[in-house]
């Protein structure tokens, strides 16, 4: 199976007038979403907390968690 990329609309739940449409890689097994900082800022997302993450090279860093965002798939999903 290849990489699945679809157009999505991201909307801030705290400020619904703020939204952006972007091409996104779809990972059906993901439990969180990773967004570039410029999109986080455009949506006015707020820092909720910080978590420690471990990278494939075993490096550990503390990263912020922002929220809350609604994700709307803009195109039909094909199997």
pLDDT digits (tens, 9 = 90+) for 11-23: 999 999 999 999 9
CB atoms within 10 A of CB 76: 6
Distances (CA, A) of 71 to 29, 41, 63, 66, 74: 15, 16, 21, 14, 9
pTM of the model: 0.80
- pLDDT at 79 > cutoff 60: no
Domain positions in the chain = 5-73
Over residues 32-69, the pLDDT tens digits come to 889 999 999 999 999 999 999 999 999 999 999 999 99
């Amino acid at each position: 199976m290849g990489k699945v990329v679809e157009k999505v609309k991201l909307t801030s739940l705290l400020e619904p007038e703020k939204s952006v449409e972007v091409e996104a890689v779809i990972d059906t097994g993901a439990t969180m979403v990773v967004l570039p900082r410029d999109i986080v800022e455009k949506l006015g997302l707020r820092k909720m907390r910080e978590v420690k993450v471990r990278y494939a090279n075993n490096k550990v860093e503390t990263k912020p968690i922002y929220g809350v965002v609604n994700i709307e798939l803009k195109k039909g999903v094909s199997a």
